[in-house]
Structure 1
Amino acid sequence: MLVPRDFEVVRDPLWNNIRLDGAALDVLDSEPFQRLRYIRQLGHAFLVYPGATHTRFEHALGAYHLAGRALGLLAERGELADLPAEEATLVRLAALLHDVGHYPFSHALEEAGLLSHEALAAEHLAHPELCRALDRLGVPRAADRIAQLIRGQSHSPLAGLISGSLDLDKIDYLTRDARMCGVPYGTVDVDRLLHSTTLVTLADGRRTVGVHEKGASALESLTFAKYQMYRNVYWHHAVRSATAMFKRLVRTAIARGQLDAAWISRTTDEALMERLRQLPDTPLAARLRRRRLYKRLADLPATEVPAQGGEWIAGDPELVAQVEDRLAEELHLEPAAILLDFPAKPEMVAIDLPLMTRRGVIEPAQSALEAVADALHRNARCLRVFGAEARELDPHTVVALAELTAAEVREALNAGTALLER
């Protein structure tokens, strides 16, 4: 007979000791959650930052820990007194499970057109081992309610702790990623932010997560840390080169029927790379293994690209692949020898959160960063062309290509018009 476990303590390099209760331990032991041990948090960033080998597993533990701290502070102030105890339980487990649907190699495959990891969460929550763990809670529809929290579809007053401007996921990953990469960015005033978190009642009567005016500067530290990490780590040119190579490699394998998207959603980093290396005609896999990354042929800050230019590069991977092959042909290179990259994160420094003033009035949180949000986003973004071999590429030609709409690009491809002579 198994003896129920009350709790365990896990040592963490960021938060020191993380206490896991019995429900969390049941989740932890499930196959879907253990898979996260083998999915690196930052994908191919370890090719640039050797310390970036931390995984979704420890990040999930960190988010769970922060959820416990935030809920504990709210409870101390009596703000949870009129909520069922199960609400807090589900929020903590949602923090623990928020990445359970994640693909291998960070967000690269979502950029490549596969379903978001939030959309896949319900599928993983339906795994028999997780179902049994959640059933032991005795909470009606626990798995469904956790999935709603993860997808941002929950009406719980505590939902903002899982998805929103203040979600605890961001606090952990920014702090953890900076620590593991060894960079002096990503600094967040965590204690001030958690102590300033409160439940507020909106004009329509809904209760939701907000922040006290005293924590406004801490909230800005979170949003600015996000900008710094995107500019210096997540969108580092070599990280983006490896990501572009990986996306093209996987999309090609799926198009050829060599890989199944459903299988990818259940596998791990190394299992996926091993499968890719075994496939015929996959030189990109060998190059990634040996860190023979494509070089920059063009590197243009988004400030040099028209405001709405190039959005098809960020949002239409199928069209991008066609353009890449046409460009490779015009440069007398093999298919897939040219790759385009223009990452997007328009909500990078956005704040959508109610703020409680010292007078007790509820207002939209205002940040000095919001006035320059678009400028910060454009400053962090770069339109890049990567190549397997060095080639001369006129930056003005790249800008001219980015100025085209998706419809104009398709028209040029269908007409056989040279893309580099526009």
Structure 2
Amino acid sequence: MDSSSQAPTSNTKKTPEDYQELKGHEAVAEITKETENHGKIINDSVHGYISLHPLLVKVIDTKAFQRLREIKALGMASYVYPTANHRRFEHSIGTAHLAGRLIQALAVRHPTLNITHDEILCVMLAGLLHDIGHGPFSHMFDAFMESMHPSESWKHEGVAGKIIDYLLDPKNGILYREFKNYGLTGTATAIIKKMIEPDGKEAKDRLFLYQIVSNKQSGIDVDKWDYLARDRRQANEGGSFSHQRFIDFSCIIQVKAKDGSVSSEIAYRDKEMDNFYDMFNVRYRMHKKVYRHPVVLVLDSMMDDNGEKNALSNIFKYDQIGNGAFLLATDESVRFLINNTQQPTDVQEAQKIQEAQKILERIAERRLYTIIGRTYANKTPEEKVNGKVIRAKIANSVADEEFVAWCEKNLIVLPNEFNYGMKTKNPILFVNFYEKGQDEKQQLSEEKLSPMMPKTFSETDILFLCRKEDKDCDEKDKKFLQDATAAVEKWCAENQYVLKSMKKDKTLQSMKRKQEQDIEQTSRAQTEAETVPVKKRMP
């Protein structure tokens, strides 16, 4: 995509005040005109032909946004689903497209709300920029950085805000003048950032603007519509829902809170309830079958270990996002950095780098961490399953200090919660619905829902891993792995869990074969001893 898109020509150039006067139908007409005259059209695999406003094209043609071409949307999942190798780049464009369609549809349906040209542009830009803060390997990088620097509360939404500040800085921001040409003044920066990460302090008469890209109330937003449709298509997983119907049957209603305050919020026709259940079910299935597939979790764990060993977290500084190394960070650049790091003079640091390089080599050769087993944790919904606590209980179940130390180094316990987006609660109860011909919120309760709908919306399972694999295991490791497997089985039995053992693992297979061979040899020796006739002593 080139950067030939232009701002309005001198003959049609408008002032910020002129843009502010464009509202409702007029604002949508102006956006359409600008897009047709100076925008770009691309062919997307999910949405077909997408028309991009010229200001969006200017944002896309920056180095900060182009970096998303090299960030896989699903991180390490492409090692399990080879076709799921799409990037954050196309997802961001798809989200901007859906955001524009929804806000323009609402502007036309509700002319009295006076949705402005600026507001429409800000919503589309928020959709485009909402993932610009993602690091290498997407969500896995967030979790890793937050674990290494908990005081910084590292989230890609917050990083996106810092990059937006960098791009729109009045002194040096490369997009500041472009935004100004379309009437977007300094307040636009704060509005776009808040649309990406609402904080609950938004103006109530404009709350609907902050429910389009990132809806904290119900979890229903254009970001989710695009990534579920795109990820499901690329992974070739079943299930479907119609985001087109969501747009067609959306409107803005006045919602009265318990404290008497009234807010303008997005609502959907009550007949779309089944369509929303389909969407939430697709989300649950994608998390369980793709995003947190057991092997994907193994690969994520290996990359976490990799980053910790080579001090990857120290390269990216949260307070230097705009002009630091982060804007050069992609999946491949991180791999290159690890494989080509000069060996430090410090022996311990050099050893860590070598271990990190070895992990990358193991991933490439598919010599992954051993999966000991997996179990459902049938705890009460309120009880938190803590992996470190479980590992400690398993390690201390064997009276051997060396085994405890081995577990601390090699045993990984990963609890995973799967839900419909609202933890243990029914997400439908958080959606604003309206009835045909009514302009107020329909009050829902469990009793009004179909009895065929699910009653449980959350489950937790636990994955048990070992960092060792067949080629790394000496006799002591094999013994400890065998002891760890037995301790995991014992812990599951004590908690009335059923452990699904992954018998395909080579190490466990070889251990099982050796056990069977030992038993067979012992049994054969006993049988032979019983069948050999005893010679009688001659008189």
Compare 49-58 and 261-270 and name the one that shifted more.
261-270
Q: Does 1:357 align with 2:416?
A: no
**Per the alignment, do residues 324 and 293 of structure 1 end up closer, same or farther by CA in structure 2, a change over 3 Å counting?**
farther
2:220 corresponds to 1:166: yes
Residue matched to 1:179: 233
1:105 is matched with which residue?
Answer: 137
Task: Return the offset for 1:258.
Answer: 6.0
Conserved in 2, the CA contact under 8 Å of 1:134 and 1:143? no
**1:301 matches 2:333:** no
Partner deviation per Cα, 1:151-202 (whole Å, 9 max, x = no partner): 12344332111112221000000010010111113x1212211111211111
Counterpart contact for 2:228–2:282, Cα < 8 Å: yes
Q: 1:268 aligns with which of 294, 312, 330?
A: 330
Alignment length (residue pairs): 393
Q: Secondary structure at the match of 1:223?
A: helix
| 1:389 corresponds to | 469
Whether the aligned pair in 1 keeps the contact of 2:96 and 2:124 (CA below 8 Å) is: yes
Q: Distance in 2 between matches of 1:46 and 1:27?
A: 28
Whether 1:248 and 2:339 are equivalent positions in the alignment is: no
Whole-angstrom distance in 2 between the partners of 1:369 and 1:243: 39
Pick one of 105, 114, 117 that aligns with 1:85: 117
Shift, 1:300, TM fit: 0.9
8 Å contact from structure 1 (residues 47, 291) kept in 2: no
Q: How far, CA to CA, are the matches of 2:300 and 2:457 in structure 1?
A: 22
Q: Is the Cα–Cα contact under 8 Å of residues 227 and 376 in structure 1 kept in the other structure?
A: no
1:33-52 to structure 2, matched below 5 A, reads 33-52=65-84
Q: Is the 8 A contact 1:245 1:339 kept in 2?
A: no
CA distance in 1, matches of 2:288, 2:4: 49
CA contact (8 A) 1:27 1:134 kept: no
Q: Which residue of 1 aligns with 2:296?
A: 239
Aligned-partner SS, 1:178: helix
Cα 1:353–1:308 change in 2 (3 A) is closer
- For the residue of structure 1 that corresponds to 2:386, the secondary structure is helix
Match of 2:6?
4
Change (3 A) 1:125 1:49: same
The residue aligned with 1:414 is: none
Q: Relative to structure 1, is the Cα distance of residues 119 and 402 closer, same or farther in structure 2, using a 3 angstrom cutoff?
A: farther
Identity between Structure 1 and Structure 2 (%): 23
Whether the 8 Å contact between 1:201 and 1:207 is mirrored in structure 2 is yes
For 2:233, give the aligned amino acid.
R
Distance 1:241 1:179, change over 3 A: same
Q: Which moved more, 1:281-290 or 1:127-136?
A: 127-136
The higher relative CO (CA closer than 8 Å, separation ≥ 6) is in 1
Aligned residue for 1:59, secondary structure, equals helix
Aligned to 2:21: none
Change (3 A) 1:46 1:365: farther
CA distance in 2, matches of 1:133, 1:397: 64
2:363 matched to 1:312?
no
Identify the range of structure 1 (272-281 vs 217-226) with the bigger mean alpha-carbon deviation.
272-281
Any residues of structure 2 matched to 1:281-292 within 5 Å, and which?
Answer: 281-282=355-356, 283-292=358-367
Distance 1:284 1:320 in 2: 26
For 1:167-246, what aligned pairs fall within 5 Å after superposition?
167-185=221-239, 187-203=240-256, 204-246=261-303
SS in 1 for 2:43: strand
Residues 269 and 299 from structure 1, CA distance in 2 versus in 1: closer, same or farther, beyond 3 angstroms?
A: same
Aligned to 2:464, the other structure's residue is in SS state strand
Instruction: Identify the residue that residue 339 of structure 1 maps to in structure 2.
Output: 412
Structure 2 segments unaligned to the other structure (5+ residues): 8-37, 147-153, 167-172, 319-323, 341-352, 471-480, 497-539
Q: Deviations over 1:350-401 (max 9, x none)?
A: 34232112343313566859998783420xx421011223734144555599
Residue 416 of structure 2 aligns to a residue whose secondary structure is: coil
Q: Which amino acid aligns with 2:456?
A: A
Gap change, CA 1:258 and 1:324, over 3 Å in 2 = farther
Aligned partner of 1:147: which letter?
A: K
The answer to whether the 8 A contact 2:118-2:183 is kept is no
Q: Which residue of 2 aligns with 1:375?
A: 456
- Which residue among 168, 174, 189 is the counterpart of 1:143? 189
The secondary structure found in structure 2 opposite 1:112 is helix
Q: In terms of mean alpha carbon deviation, does 326-335 or 29-38 score higher?
A: 326-335
Tell me the residue number matched to 1:419.
none
> Which residue of structure 2 lines up, in the alignment, with residue 69 of structure 1?
101
Checking the alignment, whether the CA contact within 8 Å between 2:73 and 2:137 is kept in structure 1 is yes
Residues 24-53 of structure 1, C-alpha deviations (whole Å, 9 max, x = no match): 001111121111111000000000000011
| Letter of the structure 1 residue corresponding to residue 354 of structure 2 | P
Secondary structure of 1:383's partner? strand
Q: Check conservation: 1:248, 1:336, Cα contact below 8 A.
A: no
- 2:182 aligns to what SS in structure 1? coil
- Give unmatched runs, 5+ long, in structure 1: 314-318, 404-422
Structure 1 residues 272 and 370, CA, compared in 2 at 3 Å: closer, same or farther? Answer: farther
Distance 2:337 2:156 in 1: 21
The structure with the largest alpha-carbon Rg is: 2
Shift of 1:73: 2.2
Closer/same/farther in 2, CA of residues 366 and 49 from structure 1, 3 Å limit: farther
